Amino acid sequence: MIETPRHEEEHVSEIRSAVRAICARYSEDYWKDLDATHGYPTEFVAELTESGFLGCLIPEEYGGAGLGLPEACAILEEVSRAGGHPGAAHAQMYVMGSVLRHGTAEQKQKYLPKVASGELRLQSFGVTEPTTGTDTTSLKTTARREGDTYVVNGQKVWISRVQHSDLMVLLARTKPIEQRSRKTDGLSAFIVDLRGAEERGLTVKPIDAMINHHSCELFFDDFEIPAENLLGTEHEGFRVVMDGMNAERILIAAECVGDGRYFVDKAVAYANDRVVFGRPIGQNQGVSFPIAKAYAKVEAASLMVDRAAALFAAGKPCGAEANMAKMLAAEASWEAGDTCLQTHGGFGISREYHIERKLRETRLYQIAPISTNLILSYVSEHVLGMPRSF
Amino acid sequence: MKVLVPVKRVIDYNVKVRVKSDGSGVDLNNVKMSMNPFDEIAVEEAIRLKEAGKVEEVIAVSIGVKQAQETLRTALAMGADRAILVVAADDVHQDIEPLAVAKILKGVVEQEQPGLVLCGKQAIDNDMNATGQMLAALLGWSQATFASKVEIEGDKARVTREVDGGLQTIAVAMPAVVTVDLRLNEPRYASLPNIMKAKKKPLDEKTAEDYGVDVSPRLEIVGTTEPAARKAGVMVGSVDELVDKLKNEAGVI
Ligand SMILES: Cc1cc2nc3c(=O)[nH]c(=O)nc-3n(C[C@H](O)[C@H](O)[C@H](O)COP(=O)(O)OP(=O)(O)OC[C@H]3O[C@@H](n4cnc5c(N)ncnc54)[C@H](O)[C@@H]3O)c2cc1C
C-alpha cells in the first residue's frame, strides 16, 4: 500500500484505520459475488451503521457523530480503497442533509435519530427524469395539493437504492412550468415514505445496469404524500436538494480517490511481482510510467477533494471546488483503473482480479451525479465568466 | 485491579517493507504506522477483562517517538481508560531496545501498581520477543508467555500457552507479566463514537529521564538486507519426480 503523507487531524487517521479494519472483514470476493448476483451488502452496511460511521455527518444531538465532510470523505475513500463499493451505502450519509438544513424541528426530531441508528434508511433521492435528464428544472413529475395531501404523478429514472430505503427525498413540480417566475421556481421537495408505497401507487422497476448500484425506474400514479412531509418551503424545493449536491459531489470525489489509490496499489504490486522476459514487468518504463502518471493525477485530485471538503466544513462557498474535485477525481480514477487493467494484461480481464468490476464502478462517476460536461459548463460560466450556453 | 498494556508503534503489517540504501534499517519515511498487532490483542484482552468485571482500569503505555501518541489514541478508542506516553526518541528510525523499554516499564509499574501487565509476545518490526520477559525479571514477578487463553482466578492467573507441539496451561501468582499470542482473541476496531470519546481521555506525557533510564543503544546494527528473492517454482510431472527432487535436489527427505 502506498501511503500518502497527509496533514490530517489525528482522529481522521484513526477513522481510516477503523474503516480499514471493518473492510478487511469483507473480502473483495464478497463484493464480486454481490456484483454477480445483484445483491445488496446488507451485512456490511449494518456494520458500518452500527459502528457509527454512516452517521458521521449527523449532529450529536440527533445521535450522530457531528463530524464534517473531511471525516466523511475519509470513510468513503477507505471503503473504495479496500475494494468495496461504497455507492451501495453512501447516500445514507448525505441525503439526510436536506432534512437537517431545511426540515422543521419536528421533522428533524422524527427522522434524524432513526437515520443515525440505521432504523430508518434514508438513502434514496429522486430527481432525474427520463425526458428531461440533466435539465433538472424542467422536470415534469407533478405534486398537486389536495387538502392535507400532495398527489404525485409522473416518472423518475435511475433512482438508486429505492428497494433498500425506507425514505426518499423527492423533487416534484408544484406549480405549472409556464407560471414559474424563474427556472428554479415551482419545484418542491418531499420526504416520501417508501414502506408499503407499492400498494399506494408507486411502481418500482429495477434497471439492468453495468454496475450493481440498485437503480430503478419509478412510476407515480396518484401517489399521495401527507402535506406535513413537504421539506422546506413550497415551490422552493430546488434549493433544498441543491445545497446537498456539493456534499454529494465531494463525497463521491473522495470515493474516486479511493478507487484511484486501489488501482495504483494493485498495479504497483503486480508490476513488481509479475516476471516476464526474466524481469519484473515494472522494470519496463512502458509499464511503470503510466502507473506513475496515474498516481500523480490521483494525488492531485485528492488535494482538490481536501480543499473542497475543508471549504464545505468551514461553511464557505465551494461549488467550483466540489465540481472540479468530482471531475478530476473521476477522471483520475478511470485513468488509474485503465492503467491497472493494462498492467495486469489478460489477468485484468478476469473477474477474479476485481479490477474490471472496480473499473465499471468508477466509470459511473463521470456521468452521475452530474456529468463532466455540466461541470465544465459550470466552471466556464460561473468561475471563468464566459457566456452561458444553455 | 489495574492492567497495564504496553503498546508499540510499528510499521503497518500491510506495508511492503523497504530497506534503507545504507543498510542501517528499514525506511520509515511516509509509511503507514500502526499498533503492533500482538499489542492490539493485549489491549483487547485487557478490555474484555474489564468488561467481565475482573479489572477496574486499563492503562495503555507507549515508549518511543512523540507520534506514538496516535497508537495510544487507538488503544483509548478501543476502550483503554487512560494512556501514558514516554517520549524516548526524536527520530522515527531510532528503535528503543527491549532492555531500556523494560526498565522504563518497570518505572511505570512502580508508579501505577497494576496487578497485571499484558503485552504482545513480540513486536512485528524487530521480532525481539524479549521485553515482557525482561520486565518480569526486573520486577521479580511471575511471567507467562505466548498466551492463547487468560483466566484470572483470585490472586492467580491461569494461562494457556502455545508451546511447540501443543498447549500448556500454567497457574502463575499475581502480579504477573503475561505476553499474548495470536490466537488469544480477535481485537475489535474502534467505533466512530469511541474514536471521538478517546480524544477526551487523559494522555500523560513523560520522558525517559523521568524514569532515570538511559535509552542509548547497546546493540549495533551491522546490516539490514531484504529477504532473498524466492526462486520460481517448477511443475513436476509425477509423484516419483517430486520425491526424487526432494531427495536429491532439495535434500530435505
Ligand atoms: C447508476 C446511476 C445511478 C443514479 N442514481 C441517481 C439517483 O439516485 N437519483 C437521481 O435523481 N439520479 C440518479 N442518476 C441520474 C444521474 O444523475 C443522471 O444520469 C445524470 O445527471 C445525467 O443525466 P442523463 O442521464 O439524463 O443524461 P443527459 O442529460 O441526457 O445527458 C447525456 C449526455 O449529454 C451531455 N449533455 C447534456 N446537456 C448538455 C449541454 N447543455 N452541454 C454539454 N453536454 C450536455 C451530458 O453531459 C451527457 O454526457 C443515476 C444515474 C446512474 C447512471
Domains located in chain A, CATH noted:
6-117 (1.10.540.10), 122-236 (2.40.110.10), 242-383 (1.20.140.10)
Q: Is the pLDDT of residue B22 over 80?
A: yes
Q: Is the pLDDT of residue A6 over 90?
A: no
Supply the pLDDT for residue A381. Answer: 97
Place of cell 426540515: A103
Helix (H) / strand (E) containing B113:
none
Place of cell 457531528: A66
Instruction: Kindly determine whether residue B232 and residue A275, on different chains, have CB atoms separated by under 8 Å.
Output: yes
Q: Which of residues 55-84 of B touch A (CB under 8 A)?
A: 69-70, 73-74, 77
pLDDT one-digit tens code per residue, A280-337: 999 999 999 999 999 999 999 999 999 999 999 999 999 999 999 999 999 999 999 9
**Band (B243; pLDDT cuts 50, 70, 90):** very high
Instruction: Kindly determine whether residue A275 and residue B189, on different chains, have CB atoms separated by under 8 Å.
Output: no
Q: Is the pLDDT of residue A7 over 90?
A: no
Q: Which of A155, A165, A367, A377 to mutate to test the pocket of ligand 1 (most atoms within 8 A of CB)?
A: A367
Instruction: Kindly determine whether residue B77 and residue A14, on different chains, have CB atoms separated by under 8 Å.
Output: yes
Percentage of residues in chain A having pLDDT higher than 90:
96
Supply the pLDDT for residue B253. Answer: 84
How does the average pLDDT of chain B come out, rounded? 95
Nearest to B131 by CA among B102, B100, B161: B102
Q: Is the pLDDT of residue B234 over 90?
A: no
Q: Does residue A18 sit at the B interface (CB-CB below 8 Å)?
A: yes
Q: How far apart are CA A122 and CA A120, in angstroms?
A: 6
For A64, name the nearest residue in chain B, comparing CA atoms only.
Answer: B193
Q: Residue A316 in contact with residue A292, Cβ under 8 Å?
A: no
Percentage of residues in chain B having pLDDT higher than 90:
86
ipTM, 2 dp:
0.93
With a 6 Å cutoff on the Cβ, whether A207 touches ligand 1 is: no
**Band (B132; pLDDT cuts 50, 70, 90):** very high
Helices A285-313 and A237-273, axial angle in degrees (round to 10) = 150
Q: How many CA atoms lie within 13 A of A61 on its CB side?
A: 5
Supply the pLDDT for residue B205. Answer: 98
Instruction: Considering only the beta carbons, identify the residue of A14, A21, A52 that sits closest to B193.
Output: A52
**Band (A31; pLDDT cuts 50, 70, 90):** very high
Q: Which atom of ligand 1 is nearest to the CA of A209?
A: 1
Q: Is the pLDDT of residue B96 over 80?
A: yes
Q: Is the pLDDT of residue B222 over 80?
A: yes
Q: Is the pLDDT of residue B198 over 80?
A: yes
Supply the pLDDT for residue A4. Answer: 79
Residue A190 to residues A230, A232, A235, B223, Cα–Cα distance (Å): 5, 8, 11, 68
Q: Which of A192-196, A282-286, B99-103, B232-236 has the lowest mean pLDDT?
A: B232-236
Buried b (16+ CB within 10 A) or exposed e, B224-246: eeeeeeeeeeeeeeeeeeeeeee
**Band (A189; pLDDT cuts 50, 70, 90):** very high
Angle CA A343–A349–A351, to nearest 5: 120
Nearest to B146 by CA among B177, B179, B116, B184: B179
Instruction: Kindly determine whether residue B189 and residue A51, on different chains, have CB atoms separated by under 8 Å.
Output: yes
CA of A371 to the centre of ligand 1 (A): 6
Q: E-strand spans in A176-297? A: 187-193, 202-206, 215-226, 230-231, 275-276, 279-280
Q: Which of B17-26, B198-207, B231-240 has the lowest mean pLDDT?
A: B231-240
Q: Does residue B32 sit at the A interface (CB-CB below 8 Å)?
A: yes
Q: Is the pLDDT of residue B230 over 80?
A: no
Q: Is the pLDDT of residue A131 over 90?
A: yes
Q: How far apart are CA A165 and CA A14, in angstroms?
A: 30
Q: Does residue B26 sit at the A interface (CB-CB below 8 Å)?
A: no
Q: Which atom of ligand 1 is nearest to the CA of A370?
A: 21
Give the residue whose CA is nearest to atom 12 of ligand 1.
A128
CA of A48 to the centre of ligand 1 (A): 29
Supply the pLDDT for residue A143. Answer: 98
Residues of chain B positioned with their CB less than 8 A from the CB of A22: 189
Instruction: Considering only the beta carbons, identify the residue of A3, A50, A51 that sits closest to B32.
Output: A3
Q: How many CA atoms lie within 13 A of A204 on its CB side?
A: 21
Supply the pLDDT for residue B235. Answer: 82
**Band (B250; pLDDT cuts 50, 70, 90):** confident
Percentage of residues in chain A having pLDDT higher than 70:
100
Q: How far apart are CA B253 and CA B251, in angstroms?
A: 6
Supply the pLDDT for residue B16. Answer: 85
With a 6 Å cutoff on the Cβ, whether A128 touches ligand 1 is: yes
What residue ranges define each of the domains in chain B, with the CATH number in brackets? 2-249 (3.40.50.620)
